[in-house]
Amino acid sequence: MDIDYQSKVSSVVNEIKPSAIRRFFDLANEMKGEVLSLSIGEPDFVTPWSIREAGIFSLEDGYTHYSPNQGYIEVRKAITEYLERRFSLKYDPKTQILVTVGGSEALDLIARALINPGDEVIILEPCFVAYRATVTLARGVPVVIETREEDEYKLKPEDLEAAITDKTKYIILGYPGNPTGATMTYDDLSKIRDVLVRHPNVFVVSDELYSELSYTGEHPASIASFPELYDRTIVVNGFSKSFAMTGWRIGYMAGPAPLLAAMNKVHQYCIMCSPSTAQFAVIEACRNGDKEVEEMRDEYNRRRRVVVQGLKDAGLSCFTPTGAFYAFPSIEKSGLSSEKFCERFLMEKKVAIVPGNAFGQCGEGHVRISYAASMENIMEAMKRLKEFMQELKDGSVQ
Amino acid sequence: MLNRIELLQLIEHNARISVSELAVMLNVSEEAVAAELETCKKENVILGYNTMINWEKTEREPVTAMIEVRITPQRNQGFDKIASQFYRYQQVSSCYLMSGGFDLMLIIEDSTLREVAQFVSDKIAPLEGVISTSTHFILKKYKSNGTLFEQKQIDNREAVVL
């Protein structure tokens, strides 16, 4: 019997296109193990032992049950203490924190709890791939602002002003950013605040998953720290990137209590609660993790410098990334498309990096290099990149 | 600005990073790195460059012994004089003055069981001022100087993560 399965899938899910670079993924997967991977958007570090141990201890102690929907109160307290200590953000642990299954669930909850069909959500491309998908799935309309290399991928206030309409529900800010490594300083954000103050109906979702990984030397800035915006900003954060805890699947959001109560409705029916083991682990992360985060940040920072120098040596132009663990150089001078460039680099030099158009159309002409890899591998990959660029220039490789 | 501590931590972990690589990592000039290394040597901050070797993987099977020594401090000289009589022996690889239940910790590496026994009974125990010794042998090394002796963690991440 022939069943047209595609017709059974909801139109909104069908609307989500398979990634433009599916073919490249398959290729990279096939070659896994024999290539240097600078293509991975998660820390190469294993979760610090004290944090892993706290999770293990909770299991030994028999904490194998559901937690309250919002997360254990001890966890929410630890998170609010952490947010206040690190980012000077004040929240009430009882009503303003929702512990989620990673930052991704938080993005999904926000979309589902806030969007009515047809509402517009402003996203800044190139960006993390879940922004667009969560909005589309919630039947919202993603409105794209293309950020540019010459602006260091910062959001320009005039671009924001132009993108806002009567239908704009919220804007997603992702700084420090994947895939660009861009950050927004306090001054940059204050210009965005000035625009948003004129549009009191527009909410802000600030994805701060990489907030600990900032190399500007400045204290990381959150847009929620502006009193004018505090009441309409939802901060999404988590432990995956800064504490190397991707597999634990735990994150959180902080924001206005009535909105979090709405999110919690969705959360309680879909997820119930985030994993208890992970919750106990993050208490330790929040309270005693600073030193290890700092060590990882310092190591990322050194790698970042090696990558930037390597790109320079290879003759590629790249704005200097100041956060996360990515560089996003332009490969336009190679004359190849992003995907072709990555495919050939993979086949000819055995190094995996990601085509920029995976993160939005305007990422074309760029590639994402993740330096969540060992220094040794990064140095070797940069050496091969230089050779590759030379060979392209010489035309010696077809 | 060159951060001396960061520089030292880097080469303590891996002494073979080149000056030019260090310069890039620390975002300073090669000249600055070279000059700082030279200064550190002059100031006896950098004393040498060792290699971590897992001798158990070779045909040699040396033992490592840790000898706790209780001593009577000497007038005007404290513990330093007697310590110097120990650490001058080439087979003593480390010598520490300790707080707690004993005074000096001597570590002997690259010896045989018999050599250690002989060394303790001939050279350490009879010395004037030595009250007692207690010798421990290391059975297995799991981690030393921050380095694990067992297999390195494998990278079990997915090939591409966006």
Write the DSSP assignment of A190-229 as a string of letters.
HHHHHHHHT-TT-EEEEE-TTTT-B-SSSPPP-GGGSHHH
Same domain, A174 and A249: yes
Of the candidates B21, B25, B159, the beta carbon closest to that of A28 is on B159
- Is B24's CB within 8 Å of A29's CB? no
Same domain, A185 and A244: yes
Residue A2 placed within a domain:
no
Contacts of B157 in chain A (CB under 8 A): 37, 40, 42, 44
Give the pLDDT band (50/70/90) at residue A44.
Answer: very high
Q: Average pLDDT of A381-392? A: 97
Residue with tokens 């310069």: B23
CB A226 within 8 Å of CB A193 = yes
Of the candidates B21, B158, B162, the beta carbon closest to that of A129 is on B162
Nearest to A358 by CA among A38, A126, A109, A83: A126
Same domain, A160 and A235: yes
Give the pLDDT band (50/70/90) at residue B54.
Answer: confident
Same domain, A38 and A132: no
Q: How far apart are CA A42 and CA B54, in angstroms?
A: 32
Q: How far apart are CA A226 and CA A64, in angstroms?
A: 40
Residue A325 placed within a domain:
yes
Q: Is the pLDDT of residue B76 over 80?
A: no
Nearest residue on chain A to B26, judged by CA atoms?
Answer: A302
Of the candidates A44, A305, A354, the beta carbon closest to that of B162 is on A354
Residue A398 placed within a domain:
no
**A52 φ, ψ to 5°?**
-60, -40
Q: How far apart are CA A147 and CA A150, in angstroms?
A: 9
Of the candidates B24, B25, B161, the beta carbon closest to that of A40 is on B161
Q: Average pLDDT of A224-230? A: 97
Q: How far apart are CA A12 and CA A131, in angstroms?
A: 15
Nearest residue on chain A to B25, judged by CA atoms?
Answer: A302
Total domains present in chain A: 2
| Helices and strands per DSSP (H, E), number in chain B | 5, 6
Q: Average pLDDT of A154-176? A: 98
The per-residue pLDDT for A42 is: 96
Give the pLDDT band (50/70/90) at residue A396.
Answer: low
For A106-162, write each residue's pLDDT tens digit: 999 999 999 999 999 999 999 999 999 999 999 999 999 999 999 999 999 999 999
Interface mutation vs chain A, best among B8, B14, B162, most A CBs within 10 Å: B162
Give the sign of the dihedral formed by CA A125, CA A130, CA A134, CA A137.
Answer: positive
Half-sphere exposure of A124 (CA within 13 A, CB side): 30
Give the alpha-carbon dihedral of A189, A191, A194, A199, to 10 degrees.
-70
CA angle A11, A12, A15 (to 5 degrees): 85
The per-residue pLDDT for B151 is: 72
Same domain, A150 and A200: yes
Of the candidates A40, A44, A309, the beta carbon closest to that of B160 is on A40
A window 123-152, beta carbon within 8 A of B: 128-129
Same domain, A367 and A262: no
Interface mutation vs chain B, best among A23, A39, A299, most B CBs within 10 Å: A39
Residue A342 placed within a domain:
yes
Residue A397 placed within a domain:
no
Range of the domain at A316: 7-46+291-392
CATH assignment at residue A41: 3.90.1150.10
Q: What is the mean pLDDT of chain A?
A: 95
For A48-79, write each residue's pLDDT tens digit: 999 999 999 999 999 999 999 999 999 999 99
Residue A377 placed within a domain:
yes
- Facing residues of B137 across strands? B65
Per the document, the length of chain B is: 162
Same domain, A313 and A368: yes
Cis amide prior to A126 (ω within 30 degrees): yes
Nearest residue on chain A to B7, judged by CA atoms?
Answer: A302
| Helices and strands per DSSP (H, E), number in chain A | 15, 12
Q: What is the DSSP string of A322-370?
A: -BTTEE--B-GGGTS-HHHHHHHHHHHH-EE-EEGGGG-GGGTTBEEEE
For B97-155, write each residue's pLDDT tens digit: 999 999 999 999 888 999 999 999 999 999 888 999 999 999 988 988 888 887 777 88
CA angle B65, B69, B75 (to 5 degrees): 145
- Closest chain A C-alpha to B97 CA, distance in angstroms: 29
Same domain, A270 and A252: yes
CA angle A262, A265, A268 (to 5 degrees): 145
Nearest residue on chain B to A43, judged by CA atoms?
Answer: B157
Boundary-marking domain end, from A270, A288, A306: A288
Radius of gyration for chain A, computed over Cα atoms and rounded to the nearest angstrom: 21
Boundary-marking domain end, from A288, A309, A338: A288
ipTM over 0.95? The verdict is: no
Residue A227 placed within a domain:
yes
- Closest chain A C-alpha to B33 CA, distance in angstroms: 15
Same domain, A193 and A55: yes
Same domain, A39 and A67: no
Indicate the helix (H) or strand (E) that contains B36. helix B30-42
Same domain, A264 and A126: yes
Contacts of A300 in chain B (CB under 8 A): none
Boundary-marking domain end, from A253, A269, A288: A288
Q: How far apart are CA B111 and CA A57, in angstroms?
A: 41
- Is B160's CB within 8 Å of A29's CB? yes
Of the candidates A31, A42, A303, the beta carbon closest to that of B161 is on A42
- Closest chain A C-alpha to B26 CA, distance in angstroms: 6
Q: How far apart are CA A342 and CA A390, in angstroms?
A: 15
CB A196 within 8 Å of CB A202 = yes
Nearest residue on chain B to A310, judged by CA atoms?
Answer: B24
CA angle B7, A220, A206 (to 5 degrees): 140
Residue A1 placed within a domain:
no
Same domain, A284 and A299: no
Q: How far apart are CA A222 and CA A87, in angstroms?
A: 7
